[in-house]
């Protein structure tokens, strides 16, 4: 485990040495070439991408986004997809590949639908177009999600720590993955309370299945075979919604394939996006 942590530390230091700050927002860039935007998920920040950033930056100009209310990014008065999109688009390139993980994938999908001229290709990583189950759509059970929201209000630190473990639960390298995730977040500022709750409201209420079916740009959906949060069994429904959407299932991963299988993650993105190297 110590060796794993040492490797992650080396990656973090290497990235920090290459990163450039951009204006008033806290997003960072590393590398050169085609623009690739990475959007993190709920409860964490852009540091979660550290295991794959350096490799991706060898091919692309990687933009590491902190969502409003996470890391040092100011929170929003009203936490909506429209307001989040407005905040992000103000500072990011006019056209880029957008890759979002979990809640970040929901945000990237919203932007791809409403601002298609800004999104060259869309990559969803363990993203649920609708997070909570409904009829034939598999998702987190309503009562389980409601209990989790209550936990964030009553015992935020305990609930967040449990959530970080849940991200890797079921993967073939679960113990190492959990240690890596917690290590990456260990020295990071906690998310703003309103942003945490606002993000949960979005996950509870948003349904982008119809919008996804109307996307015009190429899209890729990455799923984890052992994901307990976003069911891989919805794959046929994704094909029904979009016959042009590509899907790749990471056989050894749960909800964080870029942590569990970083080399494969890098290869899949290169294959989908292409490389100018």
Q: Which residues are catalytic?
A: 102, 227, 255
Q: Residue 14, exposed/middle/buried by CB under 10 A (0-12, 13-18, 19+)?
A: middle
CA–CA separation, 124 and 277 (whole Å): 24
φ, ψ of residue 96 to 5 degrees: the values are -155, 170
Contact 255/229 with Cβ under 8 angstroms? yes
The CA distances from residue 176 to 52, 53, 168, in Å, are: 16, 19, 9
> Which residues, in sequence order, are CB contacts of 72 under 8 Å at separation 6+?
26, 66, 189
**Dihedral Cα 84, 85, 91, 95, nearest 10 deg:** 160
């Amino acid at each position: 485990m110590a060796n794993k942590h040492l490797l992650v530390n080396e990656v973090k230091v290497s990235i920090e040495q290459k990163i450039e700050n951009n204006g008033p927002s806290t997003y960072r860039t590393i590398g050169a070439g085609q623009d690739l935007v990475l959007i993190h998920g709920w409860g964490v920040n852009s540091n979660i991408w550290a295991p794959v950033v350096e490799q991706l930056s060898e091919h692309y100009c990687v933009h590491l986004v902190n969502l409003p209310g996470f890391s040092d990014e100011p929170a929003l008065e009203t936490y909506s997809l429209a307001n989040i999109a407005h905040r992000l688009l103000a500072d990011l390139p006019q056209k880029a590949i957008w890759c979002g993980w979990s809640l970040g994938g929901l945000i990237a999908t919203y932007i791809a639908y409403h601002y298609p001229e800004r999104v060259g290709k869309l990559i969803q990583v363990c993203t649920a177009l609708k997070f909570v189950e409904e009829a034939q759509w598999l998702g987190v059970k309503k009562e389980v999600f409601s209990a989790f929201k209550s936990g964030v209000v009553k015992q935020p630190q305990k609930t967040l720590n449990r959530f970080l473990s849940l991200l890797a639960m079921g993967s073939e390298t679960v113990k190492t993955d959990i240690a890596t995730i917690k290590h990456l977040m260990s020295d990071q500022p906690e998310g703003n309370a309103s942003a945490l709750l606002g993000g949960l409201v979005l996950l509870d209420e948003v349904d982008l299945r119809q919008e996804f079916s109307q996307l015009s740009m190429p899209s890729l959906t990455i799923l984890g075979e052992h994901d307990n949060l976003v069911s891989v069994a919805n794959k046929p429904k994704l094909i029904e919604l979009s016959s042009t959407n590509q899907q790749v299932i990471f056989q050894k991963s749960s909800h964080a394939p870029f942590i569990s299988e970083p080399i494969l993650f890098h290869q899949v993105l290169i294959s989908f996006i292409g490389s100018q190297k």
